[in-house]
A = this chain, B = another copy of it.
Amino acid sequence: MYVVLVYDMEADRTQRMLRLCRRYLTHVQNSVLEGEISEGDLATLRGEIEDTLIAGESVIVYELSSDTLLDRTVYGDDPTEDSRFL
């Protein structure tokens, strides 16, 4: 399936969530990752997210069937073309 994941972390804990999610997904914008992921990996990731979050932080996981994302448009500078996202 295809997943879009957005996180909102305490400033000094952002890298922790990014490192975790990057093991499974592609970093596409400041606090956004997306990509194909197996059901097993997604279950693992969900557990790790729950273990990581503290009060005031949140993660939203949008789970799509792989062929139903109608359109994805990037306006402005595509951060995935920026080396800091590689």
Residue contact A59 to B46, C-beta cutoff 8 Å: no
Q: Is A36 an interface residue (CB 8 A)?
A: no
A47 to B77, CA, bound (A): 16
Interface members, chain A 27-54 (any B CB < 8 Å): 28-32, 46, 49-50, 53-54
Q: Give the interface SS of chain A, mostly helix, strand, loop or mixed.
A: strand
Q: 8 closest Cβ contacts across the A-B interface?
A: A68-B68, A58-B76, A53-B76, A63-B71, A8-B30, A59-B75, A63-B70, A61-B73
User: What range describes how many residues of A lie at the interface?
Assistant: 35 or more
Q: Is A55 an interface residue (CB 8 A)?
A: yes
**Partner pick for A69 among B54, B56, B64, B76, CB 8 A cutoff:** B64
